[in-house]
Structure 1
Amino acid sequence: MNRVFGWDLGGANIKLASIEDGRVASVVQIPCPIIPERRKFDAAVEAALPLIALPASHAVTMTGELSDVFGGRAEGVAYLVDLMVRTVGAQPLSIYAGEAGFLASGDAKRHAIEVASANWHATASLVARRHADGLLVDAGTTTTDLIPIKAGKVAARGATDAERLTEGELLYTGVVRTPVMAVAHSAPFRGRVQKIAAERFATMADVWRLAGDLPGDADPYPAADQRGKSPAESAGRLARMLGRDASEAELAEWIALARYFADCQLAEIEHTARNLSERDALSPDAPVIGAGCGRFIARRLAERLGRRYLDFGDLIDAPPETREMAARCAPAVAVALLAGKGE
């Protein structure tokens, strides 16, 4: 049996996909402990070890090198590569480096810039091999990737985070951790438009939870006020953004406010998607391909752009019950499938 484990090492969690003979067997997400120490990665990887079956090879991509427990990206890449070397022992290990493909561990540390945050490229590369044209939209907890696919190739112009932010291919806006103050500076409430607090009183998890779109298990992080995550508690945090208490309005009014903030976020993503579609002259038939825990945004974006929607889970061979998590953890799945085919 050809078994490959794909690892996506993030700063808040790790994602682990098991691929057996080219078919997705299982996908899990393991939160890193919420501690300001490097050993949070060690703890999360250790928690994943009981899920590993031998013999197997391992393919790794990452974003965890951006964690503030590291002094820089090169330091973070080196730490995470060394962690995986210790973890897999004598089993084959390859590190994904974007356009450079897979590298051995020693080479990966010498090419930290290519390895750093290359997980988006793994997803896009797999999509490009399975669907010739489209706009990949991977909406996660913190960021949204928008990656044009043309003629079976990744058409992104940026490679590093800085380049991708410049090109509009990376937006630091996500459906969970993004502060509400990052998507709007004012909001309508009871017939008036008022300024909102420039404070992290509420996050987009509260917004999308009230809007009824956020999957129940998509937000493993503590709320901004360390309280619960019921609709009433989310409404309380959203009210604080307006300098108010939740008791000043009915829940339906707070839900309406949430939908306003949700539309503000979607409008930013739509604007960028339209620019990229024009820049790369994407065919009207090219679909929006959704991945990530926030791919409900990709579905809505497809409607706004007048394009059909295609789910990442429909591009892979996986049991129906596994497709949801596979789409949420697309980079881990992609890096395993790419490595399994020697691509």
Structure 2
Amino acid sequence: MRPPVARSALRHWRQDSPSRSPMTSLTFRRDVLALDVGGANIKAADGTGWTYAEPFAMWRDAPRLTEALARIIRDASPRRIVATMTGEIADCFAGRAEGVAHIVGALAAAAEACGCGSPGIYHVDGQIVEPTDAVANPRGVAASNWHAVARLAVSFVPGARALLVDIGSTTCDIVPLAGGRPTPLANDDAGRMATGELVYTGVERTPVPAIVRGLPHRGVRRPVASERFAESRDAWLLLGGLTEDPASTDTADGGPFTRDASRIRLARAMLVEPSAVTAADAERAAAWIAEAQARQLARAVDRVVRQCGGRPEAVVYSGHGERLARMALDRLGWSVAAVSLPAIVGAAVSRSAPAHALALIARGELS
């Protein structure tokens, strides 16, 4: 059983729009460019199905944020810019207020350099505010991107008591939906983590020792070193949830993102010689990691639902960690309607869902 899908939401999607460089994909001036400025990635969308994403290590590269944003804006040539953020929590900043001020300042400087007007900044109350207001009220705009995704999710389950489960590279957002709007228990990171609505586990950047204390290896359970030798991306690559990219070195050891390199990284996490860990051994360890994440998320979902007063009528999956989300919900044994944003809008759009949702909000196409 599937809940009704709003036709007004469906008309915006093109499933054949991959995430690609703006330089090669834009042939006309965009009405809106929405930017999601994270701690590890910058994502962009225009609300019509086009998306773009690139790695950006905020903790290391914050001084060149204006340059990176200006390049994206210049290539997109938008009439107006809106933005949301999560990168303000990066440890290069003394606190969220400093992080928000830096990101908003970079957005404003980049927009001005490209001849665009002042960027709008998304507030967790659903409004788009001026940069000066964002800097004056950093708590309202910090880590607000989940709220935009929740508004997108609502459009696919109008009127239903539902739950959004959005898993990305680093975190999982669990957002209650009711009465045609997001109904979170808390609105900021600390509050949402306390209620279980924000879980710091994802399918790429989570260090293995943050997930498990040990891994199976040839009949024994080996402890894992409390060191960033391997990450969840290694497990999900070995399980087929992610795609090999030999050119990518955004890994724990700076090595290639290949199945064999992930095998070696998991061996290193157990302090075992790589020659003693076969591909099958590594896949068993990967499955162990995935199951541990699923258990953690199942507990969080159950906790959120109990606080909200009962099981939802529908679950909306978003992000490129949908497989993990389904594993978690399967553990709860629920029989509820399911909506997959990746299946409806395409994987690239779902992966950049905050930017896409924000573009739709700015265009007046999401309530």
The two structures share one fold, judged by TM-score above 0.5:
yes
Structure 1 distance, partners of 2:89, 2:138, is 12
The residue matched to 1:77 in structure 2 has which SS? helix
Aligned runs of 1:83-102 on 2, under 5 Å?
83-89=106-112, 90-91=116-117, 93-99=119-125, 101-102=127-128
Cα distance change on mapping 1:222 and 1:313 into 2, 3 Å: closer
Please give the per-residue CA displacement for 1:144-193, whole angstroms capped at 9, x wherever unaligned.
11111122221211111110110110011111111000111123322222
- Kindly state the Cα deviation for residue 141 of structure 1 after the two structures are TM-superposed: 1.0
Greater Cα offset, 90-99 or 325-334: 90-99
Structure 1 distance, partners of 2:338, 2:187, is 26
Give yes or no for contact 2:263–2:282 (8 Å, CA) kept in 1: yes
- Kindly state the Cα deviation for residue 49 of structure 1 after the two structures are TM-superposed: 2.5
The alignment status of 1:337 with 2:360, answered yes or no, reads yes
User: 1:304 aligns to what?
Assistant: 331
The alignment status of 1:237 with 2:265, answered yes or no, reads yes
Q: Find the partner of 2:173 among 136, 141, 145.
A: 145
Cα distance change on mapping 1:291 and 1:219 into 2, 3 Å: farther
Cα distance change on mapping 1:30 and 1:229 into 2, 3 Å: closer
Identify unmatched segments of 5+ residues in structure 1: none
Percent identity of paired positions between Structure 1 and Structure 2: 32
How many matched pairs?
331
Give yes or no for contact 2:203–2:321 (8 Å, CA) kept in 1: yes
Greater Cα offset, 160-169 or 183-192: 183-192
Identify unmatched segments of 5+ residues in structure 2: 1-28
Give yes or no for contact 1:13–1:44 (8 Å, CA) kept in 2: no
User: 1:274 aligns to what?
Assistant: 302
Aligned runs of 1:65-80 on 2, under 5 Å?
65-80=88-103
Structure 2 distance, partners of 1:217, 1:46, is 27
User: 1:39 aligns to what?
Assistant: 63
Cα distance change on mapping 1:277 and 1:216 into 2, 3 Å: farther
Cα distance change on mapping 1:314 and 1:104 into 2, 3 Å: farther
Structure 2 distance, partners of 1:91, 1:313, is 32
The alignment status of 1:122 with 2:143, answered yes or no, reads no
The alignment status of 1:252 with 2:288, answered yes or no, reads no
Letter matched to residue 77 of structure 2: A
Per the normalisation by structure 2, the TM-score is 0.83
The alignment status of 1:185 with 2:209, answered yes or no, reads no
Letter matched to residue 168 of structure 2: G
Please give the per-residue CA displacement for 1:117-163, whole angstroms capped at 9, x wherever unaligned.
11111111232244233221111111111111122221211111110
Give yes or no for contact 2:66–2:110 (8 Å, CA) kept in 1: no
Structure 2 distance, partners of 1:308, 1:328, is 22
Letter matched to residue 309 of structure 1: A
Structure 1 distance, partners of 2:34, 2:132, is 19
- Kindly state the Cα deviation for residue 25 of structure 1 after the two structures are TM-superposed: 3.7
Structure 1 distance, partners of 2:61, 2:313, is 47
Greater Cα offset, 35-44 or 263-272: 35-44
User: 1:26 aligns to what?
Assistant: 50
User: 1:60 aligns to what?
Assistant: 83
Give yes or no for contact 1:134–1:282 (8 Å, CA) kept in 2: no
Greater Cα offset, 34-43 or 71-80: 34-43
Q: Find the partner of 1:327 among 350, 354, 360.
A: 350
Q: Find the partner of 1:161 among 181, 184, 189.
A: 189
Structure 2 distance, partners of 1:128, 1:219, is 37
Q: Find the partner of 1:293 among 320, 343, 351.
A: 320
Aligned alpha-carbon RMSD (Å) = 2.4
Per the normalisation by structure 1, the TM-score is 0.88
Structure 1 distance, partners of 2:168, 2:217, is 29
Letter matched to residue 269 of structure 2: M
Greater Cα offset, 218-227 or 291-300: 218-227
